[in-house]
Amino acid sequence: MGLDMFVYAKKTDLADDVQVDFDIDYDWDRDEICYWRKHPNLHGWMFDLYLQKGGQSSEGFNGDTLRLNHEDVNALEKAIIDDELPNTSGFFFGHSPQKDDDYYEQAKSNDFECVKKIRDALDAGLTVWYNSSW
């Protein structure tokens, strides 16, 4: 068990105003564009955004959907650059890499790679959303 985090992208007819807590039919393998394992600070950032967009998770932001747009991905990129992902913890979450961790630069590089994939998917007109499971 642990925190698994995903971003999916797919062509949909989801209305533009639908931002959180939507059901969508997707293929885990085909539509997944990003994956993180136990990156709680990024998950905390997504949870904050989910709440800002009106989300009301009954399960502690576990399995809830959060739509991402260009403004969101720009803000995420800035938070990564500025090391401003919020300190987040949870029983199954593990720990996010810190500057003194051996894999900090690798993890940050993966974050930037995912930002690029999200931006490319949005530019292609796809619906992009975050989901997690723990």
pLDDT of residue 97: 66
Q: Which residues contact 91 (CB under 8 A, 6 or more apart)?
A: none
pLDDT of residue 18: 97
The angle at the Cα of 126, spanning 27 to 131, to the nearest 5 degrees, equals 50
pLDDT of residue 91: 72
Q: Distance between CA 132 and CA 134 in Å, rounded?
A: 7
Q: Give every residue of the chain whose pLDDT is below 70, as ranges.
A: 1, 97, 103
Q: Distance between CA 64 and CA 55 in Å, rounded?
A: 9
Is the CB of residue 66 less than 8 Å from the CB of residue 21?
no
Give me the residues paired with residue 132 across strands. Answer: 5
Domain ranges for the chain: 4-133
pLDDT of residue 89: 76
SS3 27: coil
pLDDT of residue 76: 98
By CB atoms closer than 10 A (0-12, 13-18, 19+), residue 123 is: exposed
pLDDT of residue 107: 81
